[in-house]
Structure 1
Amino acid sequence: MIKDFRGELKKRLMLSDGAMGTVLQLKNLLPKGLLPESFNVSEKINYIKDVHKSYFTAGSEIIVANTFGGNRIKLAEYGLSDMLYAVNFNAVKAVKEIAGDRALVAMSLGPTGKFIYPVGDLVFKESVEIYKEQIKAGLDAGADIFQLETMIDLQEVRSAIIAVKELCDKPIIAMMTFDNTFRTILGTTPEVFAIAADSLGADVIGANCSVGPAGIYEILKKMASVTEIPLISKPNAGIPKLIDGKTVFPGKPEDFTVLISELALIGVRVISACCGSNDLFTRALKGEIDTINKSGLPEKGIKKESGLFLTSRTDFVSCGYNHPPIVIGERINPTGKKDFIEELKNGKTNYIRKTALKQVEAGATVLDLNVGVPGTDEINLMKKGIIAVTSVVHTPVSIDSSDPAVLEEALMLYPGKPLINSISGEEKKLAKIMPLIKKYGAGVLILALDDAGIPETAEKRLETAYKVYQRLVDYGIKSYDIIIDFLTLPISAGQEKAMVTIDALSKNKTLLNLPTVLGISNVSFGLPKRSYINSSFLSLCIKEGLSASIINPEDNYLMANFYAINALLGKDYLFKNYINKYSAEARDYAGNSNREKNPDLASGKTVGVQLYDAVVHGEKEHIAHYVEKLLSDGDLPLDIGNKYLIPALEEVGRLFDKNIYFLPQVMESAEAMKIAFSRIKRELPKSGASTGPKILMATVEGDVHDIGKNIVSMLLENNGYEVIDLGRNVKTERIIEEAIKNKVDFVGLSALMTTTVTEMEHVIKELKKHNLKVFSMVGGAVVTDDYAKSINADIYAKNAMEAVEKIKQYLSRPISGNI
């Protein structure tokens, strides 16, 4: 009997089961287009039980219930939403009947198939409720563990973990799926996922599906560098191949067993297998696991770096302890900025976007976001601000507000682990904000003050800060998610005040040894030439161990001092940051430096250049005005597209290819382009221009996944093509009918499931049979270039940007005659 899953993880390796869907497929028990979860409410549940029995007999200690697609959205696609409770309850109960108390039952929680706002249209709160519906059924049936798997959206992971924790204290296993670049489709890295899931309170984290055992091992090594919590390895049996129209997973059990010792060494404590595996894999894994457990677990070979970690959706920043000091940009704050205040009152975010870009280019590694203006809706402005910042930079955000309602809305919307700025020892604020920090997994800045005010001495500030720190830790907030602000007071009100702060930093090194942060510019308030005072004060603070500085990164004098003092004190290893900043040859792309890469547009901020920038950075507020101005100045519609819009999208594509931009940024740029192009289209008939080529897009019959297809369709429309999107689960007959009816130039086919990908070949054969002279393109998670060639498709595209580029190339050529 396994009573304490969390306790067992500290002592030994544990064995979970293998695949469900691909086992059913191999036995010809899962017809094309049928949801495995539908078996849970029919006599076919016996097929599911037979698979569970095979894994239990083979030695699995954790059996995963057949609930992966059991959420409301997925079930609705198959007309099963009204049976949600039964689908999930029956699945968990079925495992319970087989395993009893001799194995643990894990309830599988899979993706909904929708992105969370603003990338998609699913609201975060609704996502939490969707998962809670599933979880309630699982709890009633006796689930022991809740297992998130094959997740691609970090926001969906966050919502599912929060859903579990709102209902129970059961253990959580959380996994995302990564491609061969070690990122998710939205650009999240293993480290970012691990940091966020750790702070949210997951018990085990890892990766499943996607790449094979060797690839998963590399992904888990990255996770191990930023977390101490146990890991899970659940790879596919290799990358699937289509051979003679059948999906074949080439991996063997020995591909898994050979890596178990190395996995244990990096902190893996749960071993499993995903698509293409069966009970033979489980038997082989059990033998190797038993051998390791008898000899005892090895000490973890990869040590987590100490410090506070903050993330955006795609990148992370570390500070404190042995990490170099970081810069938190302070400029997105309305204090003393009349134009910004006016913009906020009008609900605009142009200043936020531009200032975010400038600060990151100047060296900020975190951006403070403050939109508090009396008489405005701070909740709405904060949400707009977060969307504005995250759409133009990958830098983590510090949410600067003292209003719990504002903080909660911001924490739901923010796609990562932000910093909360700030909390103090004031009892009323503590009581309201502590639950938010814990629930949403944020970092938190502690101010060294309480209801009695700001302590006068360094010793008292340490004492006050530690009391708040201990209060947070006792509440369940992780110690490594906390950073201390010993407060900077203006020396104009007392010259001794700076030295009190510096003394507190010095004492912290030996007494508390916690990461520290200061708002540097406060020190010079009321004095002339403030940058000189700020720079000197900054140097003194960094020497005494300051971890993070809230400063103006656009102050060149201050930043030069920042880079120089870090180089002199040995905090900038091999002068990497100093050289990158001040050696022109070493500068990487930052913010809006695309000017250097587009010499034709380098003549200055003309209206055309502003239009180009707006598309590249996804700035939608003024883009219609730029187009209107160019048209009124006499620019022809097609000239605007060819000179500014198309080059801008090409730049976005270049940034995407280099992993500088990711899907959210691409979609923001596409939306901006859509606004511009919709205005231009109104002028096209006047100029005698014809509409672009017609492209028909469809997800093939039996497949209900359409995220990738929808993105391709949107990008094509914004490149001037006429797109006819037939949706998902489209019969071959309808594709042929619509292709003939609309006289299309191109047919694009998408499939995500191994059971439906062969339908592509059927469609292409029918296109040829009807003698349709069109190009064809195929894509999707299980589609490969080799498979595309084998079915005579003209194009294979691995992602949306590549699809658009290849379509451009092929439409400029004569039709090949493949079909």
Structure 2
Amino acid sequence: MSHLLDQKFGGARLAYFDGGMGTLLQAMGLKGGERPERWNIEHPERIKGVHLSYLNAGADIVTTNSFGATRAHLGEEAPELMRAAVRVAKAAVAEAGHGFVAADMGSIGKLLVPYGDMPFEEALGQFKESFTCAIEEGADLILIETMTDLLEVKACTLAAKEAMKEIGKKIPLFVSLTFDERGRLLTGADIKGTVAMLTGLRVDAIGLNCGHEPKALMDNVRALLNCCTVPVFIQPNASLPIVENGKTIFPTSPAEFAEDMLEIAKLGAWGVGGCCGTTPEHISEMVKATKNIIPAGREIPEECVISGRSSSLSLGVRPVIIGERLNPTGKPRMKQALKDGDMDYLLREAIAQIDAGADILDVNVGLPEIDEPAMLKAAITAVQTVAELPLQIDTSDPIALEGALRVYAGKPLINSVCGKQKIMDEVFPLAAKYGGAIVALTLDESGIPETAEGRLAIAERIIAEAAKYGISKNELLFDTLTMTVATDPNAANTTLATLRALHNEYKVKTVLGVSNVSFGLPQRPLLTAAFISMAIEAGLDAAIMNPNDATAKALFDAACAIHGKDEAFSRYLSGYGDKEMKVGITFGSQISLQDAKTNAVSHNNVENTPSNASQSPFYTAIARGLSSDAAREAKSLLAAGADPLVLIESEIMPALSDVGDRYEKGSLFLPQLLQSATAAQAAFDIIRAAMPQGEQDDSRKVILATVKGDVHDIGKNIVKVLMQNYGFTVIDLGKDVDPQVVLDAARTHGAKLVGLSALMTTTVPAMEETIALIHDQLPGVRVIVGGAVLSADYAAKIGADGYGKDAMASVRLAEDFLGK
């Protein structure tokens, strides 16, 4: 890091962050339901005292009391409360005579579109406003923390970068995330994919915070250190809270915390600190224990990693397939779907390619008669609801490209750049800002060179130009351009010679559209198959092809196996070990959504297909999250005389149960769970309208609320969506809800179950108060709780009847208490 913190530490010693804020403020009198950020104005001397206590304990970086400083949480007060937070922290640093001020920012508290109701640009705008205030007040760095959603952390990171650019002042940007025990964000992203996106966005340091005590984070710490090329900082909790002698405590002592943090420091962390429950005593002991540790140098293998919403892919490890079907060229049905805005057609095509074994999906919506920027953004957003794998954003329109890059969750593959200076001037700045690997075509203003030497010369210019933007050649995939041998018998040789040289001599990655080679000749699959094998032998890393063509896919897999690009023949054996391939008969065969599961094997997505893949189209539409298909099937079945209750019991509920089971097993993630729930809702709306009023079950009512003082309702909103689609009637009271309001709602609606959510340590007392009030006034009403600061033991000790560790667990509890 070439900035003030690097100048201060320079790798000679650890950087020390401070610890928790909320528990200290509670000890000073912060009441349940009070917003901690308001103390920046109401009690600035107390906030300053907390900062000073950490600085005196040895912290180098103090975190402003601004975790929720956005309008979504604090309304019109947010900008001034952020400014006040920075001023108070700066005053503490001035008095201590050392230290840096980190302007702190947490989650906006809502899921972004398409899974929530907050638009990406609205979230970005709120973050940007607050960051602008912090930078203007003189914050030394920005610290984004406790992030659990890939798209939100992207919006927040871009907001910080754009605020700096507008002000004309660059300060360090640190981003810290909270992963679960499986190494996944709430919305499913893995550590490697998240790091790929953030390093592509050029943040200065990446960290882990919150969640658990140091010991419980060790696996995630190691995973982060093994893949992250920028400095890493770690800020664990002092465990999760428990109740002891009537008081809420965090059980990890300062001495235990220091011992565990010493182990983390030895692993290679650049910075260490604490989160919930840690105190100045924890930080003081940590500093003493680690003061002689010099951050270990980490040798990170150079990888080109791209990622989707919940998966990552290292290019160059083995040849991969880029599915080409989401492109209107030569596809009348696709053209019509784009003109009609028929996104469900795109989703069906995406799913078919995923099931057939695509590793990446190309998305191209280029038609002259549509608004390409708007359509590409919509298509990318829609396809990411059903595809966890990475996407290739394919457009020649720089405005469309930037719009898609902004809303893409992950690090995409960009298609494409070439040797034309105008194109490089358009694409490389966007790749530098948003991150992304880039397909580079070996052509320029003069066209496509006829020789390998000419194409290599263009590749060299592209590499040199990319370097000016800080883009490594490792992020480039060169397309040496497949031309038909029908018009030039030497065309394939030139393509392969260029590819081989780029692979062997330039040490870069390669990609080809393989089917062009046989254009204009009979029995095209024969020629294409031979060319695929030759290209893989020459060093091909990615083939743009139709994975639904069973024969082409089989020959690709066979070629990988023959040329040693399929370790232990794993892909080949898993795909073809138990069936016969009649290649001579099946050339050019296509796979539809309905028979994709039986005719082809997806090597990286097979667990994400419905467990009951032979079920009806209605069941499949719900399990795969196809809302329009689910609604259409419901209408068709009702028109044919199907009983509404039978449809619910025999189709919708089993499909949802299947998806829920796979979510609990970790074979699919929250986006797919929510997408399936949305499809079920579309079907429910049709079916309920056809049901006689007396048949509608109104007995399974649930009251949901985020407790007094807490304005984070992501978790509660997710539970709401799932419960509604599992047949519960949900009365959502929103966030920051007074205990009496919860009680009154339960009494008014006759609900037998209440669900309470809390994210912040400071609001757990309000949760306990609400539980006690309900149990006292409404005996027999059950209360379940959930939230990042809770555990099953803690939930039981504050009187809850159940603890939902995630949304699906909350649904299971509701079923246990109210019946399925």
TM-score range relative to shorter protein: over 0.9
Q: Which amino acid aligns with 1:239?
A: L
Listed as ranges, the gaps of 5+ residues in structure 2 are: 580-599
Question: Does structure 2 conserve the Cα–Cα contact (< 8 Å) formed by 1:66 and 1:108?
Answer: yes
1:580 CA drift (Å):
2.3
* Corresponding residue number in structure 2 for 1:163: 159
* Corresponding residue number in structure 1 for 2:218: 217
* Corresponding residue number in structure 2 for 1:147: 143
Q: Would the alpha carbon gap of residues 10 and 192 (structure 1) be closer, same or farther in structure 2, given more than 3 Å must change?
A: farther
Question: Does structure 2 conserve the Cα–Cα contact (< 8 Å) formed by 1:357 and 1:591?
Answer: no
TM-superposition CA deviations, 1:617-653 (whole Å, max 9, x none):
2112233221111111111111111111111111110
* Corresponding residue number in structure 1 for 2:591: none
Question: Does structure 2 conserve the Cα–Cα contact (< 8 Å) formed by 1:67 and 1:91?
Answer: no
- Note if 1:782 corresponds to 2:796: no
CA distance in 2, matches of 1:745, 1:159: 39
SS at match of 1:49: helix
Q: Would the alpha carbon gap of residues 539 and 245 (structure 1) be closer, same or farther in structure 2, given more than 3 Å must change?
A: farther
Match runs of 1:31-430 below 5 Å? 31-42=31-42, 44-76=43-75, 80-81=77-78, 83-84=80-81, 86-100=83-97, 102-166=98-162, 167=164, 168-259=169-260, 262-264=263-265, 266-293=267-294, 297-300=295-298, 303-320=299-316, 323-430=317-424
CA distance in 1, matches of 2:563, 2:233: 40
Match runs of 1:522-537 below 5 Å? 522-537=516-531
CA distance in 2, matches of 1:653, 1:522: 43
1:591 CA drift (Å):
6.0
Q: Which amino acid aligns with 1:751?
A: A
Question: Does structure 2 conserve the Cα–Cα contact (< 8 Å) formed by 1:92 and 1:141?
Answer: no
Q: Percent identity?
A: 36
1:407 CA drift (Å):
0.7
* Corresponding residue number in structure 2 for 1:484: 478
CA distance in 2, matches of 1:175, 1:594: 29
Q: Which amino acid aligns with 1:195?
A: A
Greater CA drift, 740-749 or 481-490: 740-749
- Note if 1:737 corresponds to 2:734: no
CA distance in 2, matches of 1:21, 1:698: 24
CA distance in 2, matches of 1:193, 1:574: 29
Q: Would the alpha carbon gap of residues 573 and 438 (structure 1) be closer, same or farther in structure 2, given more than 3 Å must change?
A: same
* Corresponding residue number in structure 1 for 2:548: 554
1:96 CA drift (Å):
4.2
Question: Does structure 2 conserve the Cα–Cα contact (< 8 Å) formed by 1:236 and 1:276?
Answer: yes
TM-superposition CA deviations, 1:207-240 (whole Å, max 9, x none):
0111221233321221233332111111111222
Q: Would the alpha carbon gap of residues 256 and 244 (structure 1) be closer, same or farther in structure 2, given more than 3 Å must change?
A: closer
CA distance in 1, matches of 2:365, 2:610: 32
Q: Which amino acid aligns with 2:496?
A: I
Greater CA drift, 234-243 or 448-457: 234-243
CA distance in 1, matches of 2:737, 2:709: 8
Higher-RCO chain (CA-CA 8 Å, sequence separation at least 6) = 2
Q: Would the alpha carbon gap of residues 426 and 91 (structure 1) be closer, same or farther in structure 2, given more than 3 Å must change?
A: farther
Q: Which amino acid aligns with 2:516?
A: N
CA distance in 2, matches of 1:590, 1:471: 35
Q: Which amino acid aligns with 1:662?
A: F
Match runs of 1:567-578 below 5 Å? 567-578=561-572
SS at match of 2:143: strand
Q: Would the alpha carbon gap of residues 674 and 801 (structure 1) be closer, same or farther in structure 2, given more than 3 Å must change?
A: same
CA distance in 2, matches of 1:792, 1:85: 36
CA distance in 1, matches of 2:477, 2:541: 9
Greater CA drift, 171-180 or 377-386: 377-386
Q: Would the alpha carbon gap of residues 113 and 594 (structure 1) be closer, same or farther in structure 2, given more than 3 Å must change?
A: closer
SS at match of 1:787: helix
1:657 CA drift (Å):
1.0
1:417 CA drift (Å):
0.4
Match runs of 1:430-579 below 5 Å? 430-579=424-573
1:800 CA drift (Å):
1.2
- Note if 1:811 corresponds to 2:818: yes
Match of 1:602 among 614, 633, 649: 614
Q: Would the alpha carbon gap of residues 592 and 373 (structure 1) be closer, same or farther in structure 2, given more than 3 Å must change?
A: farther
1:564 CA drift (Å):
2.1
SS at match of 1:211: coil
1:729 CA drift (Å):
2.2
TM-superposition CA deviations, 1:662-707 (whole Å, max 9, x none):
2222222222211211121122226744434222222222322222
SS at match of 2:227: coil
CA distance in 1, matches of 2:206, 2:739: 41
CA distance in 2, matches of 1:174, 1:771: 44
1:118 CA drift (Å):
1.4
Question: Does structure 2 conserve the Cα–Cα contact (< 8 Å) formed by 1:308 and 1:515?
Answer: no
Q: Which amino acid aligns with 1:351?
A: Y
Q: Which amino acid aligns with 1:28?
A: M
CA distance in 2, matches of 1:3, 1:399: 33
SS at match of 1:757: helix
CA distance in 2, matches of 1:221, 1:317: 19
Q: Which amino acid aligns with 2:428?
A: M
Question: Does structure 1 conserve the Cα–Cα contact (< 8 Å) formed by 2:207 and 2:233?
Answer: yes
1:455 CA drift (Å):
1.4
Q: Would the alpha carbon gap of residues 732 and 69 (structure 1) be closer, same or farther in structure 2, given more than 3 Å must change?
A: closer
SS at match of 1:777: strand
SS at match of 2:270: strand
Question: Does structure 2 conserve the Cα–Cα contact (< 8 Å) formed by 1:88 and 1:134?
Answer: no
Match of 2:687 among 668, 677, 680: 680
Greater CA drift, 177-186 or 632-641: 177-186
1:414 CA drift (Å):
0.9
1:785 CA drift (Å):
1.9
TM-superposition CA deviations, 1:346-394 (whole Å, max 9, x none):
1002332122222122221111111112201222322232233211121
1:464 CA drift (Å):
0.4
Greater CA drift, 749-758 or 82-91: 82-91
CA distance in 2, matches of 1:561, 1:589: 15
Q: Would the alpha carbon gap of residues 692 and 537 (structure 1) be closer, same or farther in structure 2, given more than 3 Å must change?
A: farther
Greater CA drift, 767-776 or 723-732: 767-776
Match runs of 1:14-33 below 5 Å? 14-25=14-25, 27-33=27-33
Question: Does structure 1 conserve the Cα–Cα contact (< 8 Å) formed by 2:571 and 2:603?
Answer: no
CA distance in 2, matches of 1:524, 1:402: 25
TM-score by length of 2: 0.92
* Corresponding residue number in structure 2 for 1:728: 735
SS at match of 1:292: coil
* Corresponding residue number in structure 2 for 1:816: none
Match runs of 1:598-747 below 5 Å? 598=612, 602=614, 609-685=616-692, 688-747=695-754
Q: Which amino acid aligns with 1:602?
A: S
Q: Which amino acid aligns with 2:151?
A: Q
1:103 CA drift (Å):
2.1
Question: Does structure 1 conserve the Cα–Cα contact (< 8 Å) formed by 2:9 and 2:15?
Answer: no
Question: Does structure 2 conserve the Cα–Cα contact (< 8 Å) formed by 1:490 and 1:522?
Answer: yes
TM-superposition CA deviations, 1:141-188 (whole Å, max 9, x none):
222211111111222222222222221322111111112222121112
CA distance in 2, matches of 1:457, 1:47: 73
Q: Would the alpha carbon gap of residues 98 and 480 (structure 1) be closer, same or farther in structure 2, given more than 3 Å must change?
A: farther
Listed as ranges, the gaps of 5+ residues in structure 1 are: 604-608, 814-819
